Amino acid sequence: MSQIPIIVPLLNANEPEARLVDVHVKDGQQVNPGAILFTIETTKAASDVEAPAAGFVRMVAAEGDTLSVGDLLAYLTDTADQALPPRPQDTVKPAVSTPGGLRITNPARALAEELGLELDSLPTDRLLTEAAIREIAASLFPIALPDFDSGHLLIYGAGGHAKAVMEMAQAIGAHPIAGILDDNPALKGKTVLGIPVLGGRELLPALRAKGLALAANGVGGILDIAVRVRLFERLSSAGFDLPSLAHPRATVEPSTLLGEGVQVFANAYVGSSVVLHPRCMVNTGAIVSHDCEIGEYTHIAPGAMLAGHVHVGARSLVGMGVTTAIGIKIGDGVRIGNGAVVYADVPDKTIVPAGQVWAGS
């Protein structure tokens, strides 16, 4: 029976230590190749760790652990109860105090200074990341929040995609926007399209406790879809519901099935008997013809044209102006560059360059 070790990769040749800042799976969970398992961070970089194969995740490290390059994060096994090798005593090194030294990532240091936190007041028992600094700041400087109506909508993100989501929500009119969260501390207290930026992710529990129940992802994630996936998961884990949003100027046929968190933007057309799985996006001016199926988290970019009966897997990107033949299958984790023409099935995790005519591998 196979046991594939998942280890801490080298992110920075001059820095052998990293912190496990996010665990995206549960012990014993079955995953497919390419699934995002962990996020690790050093003082200079952060990176996602993906599953190299299919299997069951067997946890070795825990969120918050400080580890070295080559240390075990987990195993991938054939079954959820497969026996594991004896664990070396030094596999995971819990964070310990460093005499006279503060261990903090460069982004976290900049954030601490931006928020007015004195560095000598910060804890030295662990490597401090941006998330840790936000938690410390939230505990030191709590803000007064009003009670919200459960029908109001929170927007996560304050960039260009967020603006499009905000104006779409306003055009729909069903959910007044309560405010914006963005993890850029420089935006706190400012407004975007007249809507206040309340703060960063540290406010999610407080906002939920104040009655806010609905949220929309305002991050497009076109360069790295994993960012968009993580934000959706963060909102869900904080207890927020994710309404589907379809712009009034989009045409969505009555037989279309829209999953939670789906976004359909202005001038898009979604045809009869289309299935839009949760958290996917059909962007401005895209055409998704009858009987298509679009997978979870997938982005159909502006101006793309999908013929009938096209099936697109999860976490894929169909770029701007792409056209397809009828009935083809596009796999999971695919990226199709702008302007490509697709005549044949596209296997999982394939990259089709921009402008290329794809007739099969």
By C-alpha distance, which of 59, 79, 56 is closest to 1? Answer: 79
d(CA 183, CA 167): 21
Band of residue 144 on the pLDDT scale cut at 50, 70, 90: low
* Domain locations along the chain: 3-77, 106-140, 153-237, 244-361
pLDDT of 78 > 80? The answer is yes
pLDDT given at position 344: 97
Count of Cβ atoms closer than 10 Å to residue 310 Cβ? 24
The residue-averaged pLDDT of 181-210 equals 87
Place of tokens 């206040």: 196
Fold held by 153-237: Rossmann fold (3.40.50)
Band of residue 139 on the pLDDT scale cut at 50, 70, 90: low
Instruction: Please indicate whether residue 256 or residue 130 has the higher confidence score (pLDDT).
Output: 256
pLDDT given at position 254: 97
CATH architecture label of 3-77:
Beta Barrel (2.40)
CATH architecture label of 244-361:
3 Solenoid (2.160)
Q: Cβ distance 307 to 274 under 8 Å?
A: no
pLDDT of 82 > 70? The answer is yes
Band of residue 90 on the pLDDT scale cut at 50, 70, 90: very low
pLDDT given at position 308: 97
pLDDT given at position 314: 96
Instruction: Please indicate whether residue 106 or residue 206 has the higher confidence score (pLDDT).
Output: 206
3-state secondary structure of 170: helix
pLDDT of 1 > 70? The answer is no
